[in-house]
Amino acid sequence: MTDIARHLAALVGSRICHDLISPIGAIGNGVELIALDPRPRPDEVALLSDSVVAASARLRFFRIAFGIAGQDQTTSRLEVAALLGDLYRSGRISVDWSGPADLPRSEVKLAFLLLLCAEHAIPTGGTITIRQADTRWHITAASPRLRHDAALWSFLSPAEAAAPAVLRLEPAQVHFPLAGLALAHLDRTPTVTVGVTGLTVSF
């Protein structure tokens, strides 16, 4: 295994742990509160319920985005809609997904990685739309305060995704080179269009 591959694996592990600490910590807090009073109040039950949903959704999302996509595996639109509904049920970002009833798992994996890239472009919140038209995917992030880091988006190039610069990335940025590798695996060429309040990546 190369240094870059080892670093990417470590970044993925760190990213998963970081994103799960918050909901799992909230579950622990809820359990502690219930332990103090065996008659839990509605707000304590709601805390546990919301945190369980958040942790489960994040794990299901990561299983597709960071996991192995078998050649014959498919993912249904209903499964994706339910997952994204749980993942973005609260927060500053809303996601609208529209696609065929059944999709190759490898394409959903790539779309999820690029969804994470789109999230990075709207740190203060906004909307993300994901569409498939004429066999091409279009993922658009829109926000009054758009952030575009050209250096990170350059990792969508297969050459950059395997470049030593990857070693300087943080866990919160690991999806950029992973998306580049996934694009290369599917032999897709991305197009990134940047506007004042919107960014679209198509592949």
pLDDT of residue 43: 72
Please, are residues 122 and 147 in contact by the beta-carbon 8 Å criterion? yes
Q: Highest mean pLDDT range out of 28-37, 68-77, 138-147?
A: 138-147
- Average pLDDT over the chain reads 91
Who contacts 8 (Cβ-Cβ below 8 Å, separation ≥6)?
166, 174, 177, 178
Structure tokens at 61: 């999302």
Q: What is the DSSP string of 84-140?
A: HHHHTSSSSEEEEEE--SEEEHHHHHHHHHHHHHHHHH-TT-EEEEEEEETTEEEEE
Which tens digit of pLDDT belongs to each residue from 160-192? 888 899 999 999 999 999 999 999 999 999 999
pLDDT of residue 72: 87
* H-run or E-run covering 178: helix 175-185
Coil, helix or strand at residue 55: helix
Which tens digit of pLDDT belongs to each residue from 95-109? 999 888 889 999 999
Please, are residues 199 and 118 in contact by the beta-carbon 8 Å criterion? yes
* pLDDT category of residue 46 using cuts at 50, 70 and 90: confident
Which tens digit of pLDDT belongs to each residue from 15-44? 999 999 988 888 887 777 777 776 767 776
Q: Which domains, and CATH codes, for the chain?
A: 3-202 (3.30.565.10)
* pLDDT category of residue 1 using cuts at 50, 70 and 90: low
* Look-up of token digits 């994470």: 116
Which pTM does this prediction carry?
0.91
